[in-house]
Amino acid sequence: MANDGADTDLDRLVVAQIPHLRRYARALVGDRDRADDLVQDCLERAWSRLGLWRRDGNMRAWLFTIMHNLNANAVRNAKRRPGHDPIDEATFHAATPPSQIDRLELNALSDAIRALPEEQRAVVLLVGLEQLSYEEVATVLDLPIGTVMSRLHRGRERLRRAMAGEPAPSLRRVK
Amino acid sequence: MTAGAPRPVTEGELNALVDGRLDPARAADVERDLAASPEEQRRAADFARINAGLHALFDPVLDEPVPEHLRRHPPTAWHRRPWARGLGAAAAAVLLLVVGAAGGWYARDRAIAQRQEVAAILQPAALAHRIYVAERRHPVEVRAEEEHLVRWLSNRLKIPLKTPALDPMGFHLMGGRLLPTDRGSAAQFMYEDRQGRRVTLYIRSDLQGNRETAFRYVQDETGVGMFYWIDGAKGYAVAAQMPRQELMAIATKVYDDLEK
């Protein structure tokens, strides 16, 4: 069937955000399938609540908020279970590197992102990758803006040390 | 504005500079202040590299074709993953409906209430379930043993019907009946297990709006649960009084068999 579900303006607004939701989810959870599952869960919830969305609202922030809440639940549940899911290395290392940043540095960055505390990772990615404003991030994560700023700074400091090859003391390598 | 002596750059300013969140005049001031501190300058450059690295790592995702199942209202996605994994998703789609004194189903979710197609499947399916599940002597109009059951209902609904095989879950097909709708005909199939529990599958093929919905779950206050979904003109509902997870397994089998 050719129907892609985008049969109203609202639907189209949602569909337009799917690539961004996928990018963020991939960076947040690492594994491609789990990331798309998260995107799918987010979209299902969004479709079912579309009527509640305010037309003058920020669709992007709304969708990221839904995704954040779903992921926070998933992380909480995963913590109750033993064991870790394996990290899909291929998804990280398949991307094309830009000329200025070399492959080793990128690998170090992707490992370091995985090792970041969840709360810092979300802020670093929403700001640095998705380019949400600090205010939007505060809304999405339901945090005071001061907390957003301090998590952003601490997260970046950790990534910086990792990229420079310094092992952070509490850096946990997941193999 | 005259440039005073450089002052220490705060964390907030440094990050905002990196993220391009300062207006040009302010950015120029901060950059000037940064120039006085090589260490902070390196930090800012490294932070900018992190941002660039994030884009290098993950921007390729933007160029990947979006999987078809993510582009549409979700029923199609169920092929891909077993329901056990979809528990979270299903929970997200849970909408509690309350059966009012008059017997109507009232959606609490405005999004749902606005969609008449949903009401057009929910209400008649729930009504037919309540009435015929309680029927001891004539639960079905045509018994499963009669060969023409499926052909007859297919002809009346003008779509090829199938009866899902629920034997793996312990339910056998009792038979079916033709039901009226406000526009045409609907069909109900009924299944029963050894303890006498009954499941109904309601199908209508005359919905308007040609949209697809997610697989959704509703429950009334008596504990009757129903999974339903819409695929274009076709609407389906699987109802029974049993734990949601058990009903989910049945609804999933129904969906899979109908899609085959």
- Which residues does chain A have within 8 Å of residue B60's beta carbon, measured at their own beta carbons? 94-96
The domains of chain A are located at 9-163
**Which of B14, B58, B214 lies closest to A48 in CB terms?**
B214
Q: What domains does chain B contain, in order, with CATH numbers? A: 11-63 (no CATH), 73-259 (3.30.200.100)
Question: C-alpha B134: how far from its chain's center?
Answer: 30
Using CB atoms, pick whichever of A47, A110, A134 lies closest to residue B57.
Answer: A110
pLDDT digits (tens, 9 = 90+) for B195-209: 999 999 999 998 886
Q: Is A87 near chain B, with CB under 8 Å?
A: no
Q: CA-CA distance, A108 to B67, in Å (whole number)? A: 29
Which residues from chain A sit within 8 angstroms of residue B229, using beta carbons?
none
Q: What are the pLDDT digits (tens) for B107-163?
A: 333 333 335 677 788 888 988 998 899 888 889 999 998 889 999 999 999 999 999
Min distance B251 CA to chain A CA atoms (Å): 18
Contact A5 B92 (CB under 8 A): no
Radius of gyration of chain A (CA): 17
ipTM: 0.81
Mutate to test the interface with B, among A80, A129, A159 (most CBs of B within 10 A): A129
Span A18-32, pLDDT tens digits: 999 999 999 999 888
Task: List per-residue pLDDT tens for chain B, 260 residues long.
Answer: 445 677 888 999 999 999 989 888 888 889 889 888 889 999 999 999 899 899 989 998 988 888 877 876 544 333 333 333 343 333 333 333 322 222 333 333 333 333 567 778 888 898 899 889 988 888 999 999 888 999 999 999 999 999 999 999 999 999 999 999 888 899 999 999 999 999 999 999 988 866 676 677 787 767 788 888 888 889 999 999 998 888 988 998 998 888 77
CATH of the structural domain A9-163, one choice from 3.20.20.140, 3.40.640.10, 3.40.47.10, 1.20.140.160: 1.20.140.160
Taking contacts as CB-CB distances below 8 angstroms, the residues of chain B near A44 are: 74, 89, 92-93, 214
Interatomic CA distance for residues A101 and A154, integer angstroms = 22
Instruction: Please write down the HEC assignment for all residues of chain B.
Output: CCCCCCCCCCHHHHHHHHCCCCCHHHHHHHHHHHHCCHHHHHHHHHHHHHHHHHHHHHCHHHHCCCCHHHHCCHHHHHHCCCCCCCHHHHHHHCEECEECCCCCEECCCHHHHCCHHHHHHHHHHHHHHHHHHCCCCCCCCEECCCCHHHHHHHHHHCCCCCCCCCHHHCCEEEEEEEEECCCCEEEEEEEECCCCCEEEEEEECCCCCCEECCCEEEECCCCCEEEEEEEECEEEEEEECCCHHHHHHHHHHHHHHHHC
pTM higher than 0.80? no
Q: Is A43 at the interface with chain B, CB within 8 A? A: yes
Rounded to whole angstroms, what are the CA distances from B225 to A70, B217, B239?
24, 7, 6
At position B253, the amino acid (one-letter code) is K
Nearest Cα residue in chain B from A7: B211
The answer to whether B89 contacts A44, with C-beta atoms less than 8 Å apart, is: yes
Query: What rounded mean pLDDT belongs to chain A?
Result: 78
Mutate to test the interface with A, among B70, B116, B217 (most CBs of A within 10 A): B70
Which DSSP category does A168 fall into? P
